[in-house]
């Protein structure tokens, strides 16, 4: 594996907690979408997850992780967190809310820990891959290891 140009905050948090992970770097490509990233990394589209930040009708924020080749089912997602409805957070609100820009949002290292739900399909894999907190970086770890860093629930939230 080639040397990474730098460590991200996500990687530093994992190292501080002595949590083993695998890092993936794709910064020397033009990959933008989650599907492009998974293809560049030659990884299973169902194992690479995108991080989506939403706001409920109660004005509470929620984080959802779903496979890059799926869409968030807003009705299922709202039910999963006990909201009447949810919608995606506007791109301009993402950085002040999470500390991340669009395209590199990670469930690890947000300014505040929001209720997080990961699609139930994650259980099919020994590890999942998601944003390392900076464009060009992904991290891979097991759900058990992720549980040591953030709280989350597994639910059926994608379509």
CATH number of 9-155: 3.90.960.10
* pLDDT tens across the length of the chain (159 residues): 445 778 999 999 999 999 999 999 998 888 889 999 999 999 999 999 999 999 999 999 999 999 999 999 999 999 999 999 999 999 999 999 999 999 899 999 999 999 999 999 999 999 999 999 999 999 999 999 999 999 999 999 999
State the DSSP string of the chain. Answer: -PPPS---HHHHHHHHTT---EEEE-TTS---SHHHHHHHTT--TTTBEEEEEEEETTS-EEEEEEETTS-B-HHHHHHHHT-S-EEEPPHHHHHHHHS--TT---SSS-SS--EEEEEGGGGGSS-EEEE-SSTTEEEEE-HHHHHTTS--EEE--B-
> The pTM is what?
0.95
């Amino acid at each position: 594996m080639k040397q990474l140009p730098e460590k991200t905050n996500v990687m530093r948090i994992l190292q501080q907690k002595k949590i083993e992970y695998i890092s993936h770097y794709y910064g020397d490509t033009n990959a933008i979408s989650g599907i492009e990233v998974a293809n560049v990394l030659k990884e299973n589209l169902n194992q690479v997850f995108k991080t989506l930040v939403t706001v409920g009708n109660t004005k509470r924020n929620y984080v959802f992780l779903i496979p890059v080749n799926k869409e968030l089912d807003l009705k299922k997602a709202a039910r999963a967190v006990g909201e009447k409805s949810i919608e995606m957070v506007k791109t301009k609100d993402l950085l002040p809310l999470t500390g991340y820009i669009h395209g590199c949002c990670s469930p690890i290292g947000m300014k505040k820990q929001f209720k997080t739900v990961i699609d139930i399909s994650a259980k099919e894999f020994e590890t999942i891959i998601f944003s390392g907190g900076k464009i060009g970086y992904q991290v891979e770890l097991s759900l058990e290891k992720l549980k040591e860093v953030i709280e989350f629930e597994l639910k059926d939230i994608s379509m």
